[in-house]
Chains A and B, each alone.
Chain A
Amino acid sequence: MTASDRPRISLLGTSALLFEAPGAFDLPHQRRIWALAATASKWPGIREAIPGITNMMLTFETPPRELDTLVAALNDGWDAAEGLAIGGREIGLPVTYGGEIGSQLQSVADHCGLSVDDVVSIHAAPLYTVFALGSHPGYCYLGGMDPRITMPRRQTPLQRSAGGSVSIGGSQTGVSASSGPSGWHAIGHTSWTFFDPSWPTPAALAPGDTIRFEIERVIR
């Protein structure tokens, strides 16, 4: 077994630790991460186990005195982790493609050598899976985008991108939950609410939920 077959475990100072799984960015690996996170979140001294993209951050209630036990538990936990198939909700998300907020729709089409209609139909075709939440309150990292509409991230991030922007960044797509800086290309927008601190669970979506983008309108 080579080193690249094994997970990577590294420190984030004294308040957290990062576990990175070996292997591909795909749903089977992500399901193992969900399983590991569900287990690790119950370990003593752990505040939260937060899934990332085929990785997981553990934050500490109290930093462990020594790390060997935790590292061993993570390695064993990964080896034992069966994919956790979360039976999440399926959400239909109405999207207006193009227009002022989705102003990069044409650029993505040009970059990918496709028509605007192709980009829209390719983007709206898959059933996307919420892999993880992160970045800003309520934001979902989605898996399942068709690689034909891949477009590299911006060299210089935009200072302010509108909340609800449906964007492409590299081989990923997502919807910003609130306005803020972004290095991605907005191709549309939705008025859906992803986060409300007054809800019992503040984020509308959770890992394992699925999203289908519904074409409400295309502004060319």
Chain B
Amino acid sequence: MIEILSVTGPASVQDLGRFDQYRFGVGTSGAMDDVALRAGNILLDNDENAAGIEIPMLPFKLRFGRDMAFALTGAGVEAEIAGRVIPPWWRSHARAGDILTIKAMPRGARLYLTIGGGIDVPMVLGSRSTQFRGEFGGWQGRPLQVGDILPCAASAAAIDELGVEPAEITLARPNTAADETIVRVVIAGEYDGFDAATQALFWSSSWKITPQSNRYGYRLQGPAVKPKAPIEKRSHGIVPGVIQIPPNGQPIIQMRDAQTSGGYPKIATVIGADLWRVGQARLGSSLRFEQTAYADALAAEAEMSTYLDRLRTNVRLVEETRTC
């Protein structure tokens, strides 16, 4: 087990998400950066869907109740355990009683702590992810608090230290300025409800990520993007990544804890292969949208699978070399 000693902001237990409960009004939840969670689990030889802890704010401190392997992926952080510094995208080993301290997050927005075997909270409706609105899943259906003691699944014996290249380096997008995130989007149902000049404005603008951005949605600030005539839709299903334009013309990207339905016009949807980039975009930084075709969005997903396959292969190769 692990004990939470210090927590800032809404840290929570998340796996990849709950994907087949929309018909009951239940959204996906799940890691905002699914690539980082997968990578952490790959480093630990876990099922890629094993639950970890998503940490959006620091400081964060926890104590390991027994010897276990763990990994830190996602945001770049300053982390320390028993006097050792843990580099980013790294797996290491804790002894019973060791305290892991995470002090600063110079890059990215969310850190993932994964452990050998995974956080062993019960599966609820097919997932271990925390459903905040429904108050179920994860650890008691709520954000973590000081004093929480999380059960950990049994895991294989000790694993040596090992790191992998962070996804933001391997999967870096060309022509991205520092402190800027570029995400590819496929246009959505109401795109044609905006005139050409407004569409151009949507593509060319550098959108500021406001402090009202979280697991529910990212609220952006920039020039007002308004449809030719007001559009009110009948309530319909929406998924994480959908970019809605409310009456004030300021886009909102729906994220993992978004409502499962909405009625605002949708201008575009962030593709699945880039949603993690939004999850790692920092408050106050800028975001730009790049139009992509459906076929290219599928190609980007294939590229992501290739990246994860390579990660898996490399980790396995290292294990084999070490056991030789």
- A residues near B (Cβ < 8 Å) are 8, 10-16, 18, 20, 25, 47-57, 59, 63, 65, 67, 132-139, 141, 177-178, 180, 195, 197, 201-203
What separation, in Å, do the CA atoms of A51 and B234 have in the docked complex? 12
Chain A contacts for B266, CB-based, 8 A: 10, 12
Known contacts A10-B188, A14-B186, A178-B134: A136-B25 contact under CB 8 Å? yes
8 closest A-B pairs by beta carbon, nearest first, are: A57-B237, A134-B261, A10-B189, A13-B269, A52-B236, A137-B134, A53-B234, A203-B24
Verify A47–B298 contact, CB threshold 8 A. no
What separation, in Å, do the CA atoms of A12 and B22 have in the docked complex? 14
Verify A202–B24 contact, CB threshold 8 A. yes
* Closest A residue by C-beta to B22: A50
Q: Distance in Å from the Cβ of B259 to the closest Cβ of chain A?
A: 5
What separation, in Å, do the CA atoms of A51 and B134 have in the docked complex? 20
Q: A11-B187, A48-B20 are in contact. List 19 more A-B contacts (CB 8 A).
A: A12-B238, A12-B241, A12-B266, A13-B241, A13-B270, A13-B272, A14-B186, A14-B297, A15-B241, A52-B237, A53-B235, A56-B237, A59-B22, A67-B294, A138-B25, A178-B135, A195-B24, A197-B124, A197-B125
Q: Distance in Å from the Cβ of B302 to the closest Cβ of chain A?
A: 11
Contact of B19 among A8, A53, A59, A134 (CB under 8 A): A59
Q: Distance in Å from the Cβ of A163 to the closest Cβ of chain B?
A: 10
Known contacts A13-B271, A18-B189, A135-B261: A50-B237 contact under CB 8 Å? yes
* Closest A residue by C-beta to B23: A50
What separation, in Å, do the CA atoms of A41 and B180 have in the docked complex? 40
What separation, in Å, do the CA atoms of A50 and B22 have in the docked complex? 7
Chain B contacts for A56, CB-based, 8 A: 237
Verify A137–B133 contact, CB threshold 8 A. yes
Verify B301–A135 contact, CB threshold 8 A. no
Q: Distance in Å from the Cβ of A1 to the closest Cβ of chain B?
A: 20
Verify A137–B234 contact, CB threshold 8 A. no
Verify B20–A137 contact, CB threshold 8 A. no
Q: Does chain A have a CB within 8 A of B111? A: no
Q: Distance in Å from the Cβ of B225 to the closest Cβ of chain A?
A: 18
Verify A14–B260 contact, CB threshold 8 A. no
Contact of A137 among B131, B235, B261, B270 (CB under 8 A): B131
Known contacts A52-B235, A138-B25, A195-B24: A15-B259 contact under CB 8 Å? no
What separation, in Å, do the CA atoms of A135 and B263 have in the docked complex? 11
What separation, in Å, do the CA atoms of A48 and B259 have in the docked complex? 17
Contact of B22 among A10, A48, A55 (CB under 8 A): A48
* Closest A residue by C-beta to B19: A47
Verify A53–B25 contact, CB threshold 8 A. no
**Central interface residue in A18, A180, A201, by most chain B CB within 10 Å:** A18
Verify A136–B259 contact, CB threshold 8 A. yes
Contact of B23 among A10, A12, A48 (CB under 8 A): A48
Verify A25–B234 contact, CB threshold 8 A. yes
| 193-233 of chain B: CB within 8 A of chain A | none
* Closest B residue by C-beta to A59: B22
| 255-302 of chain B: CB within 8 A of chain A | 259-261, 266, 269-272, 294, 297-298, 301
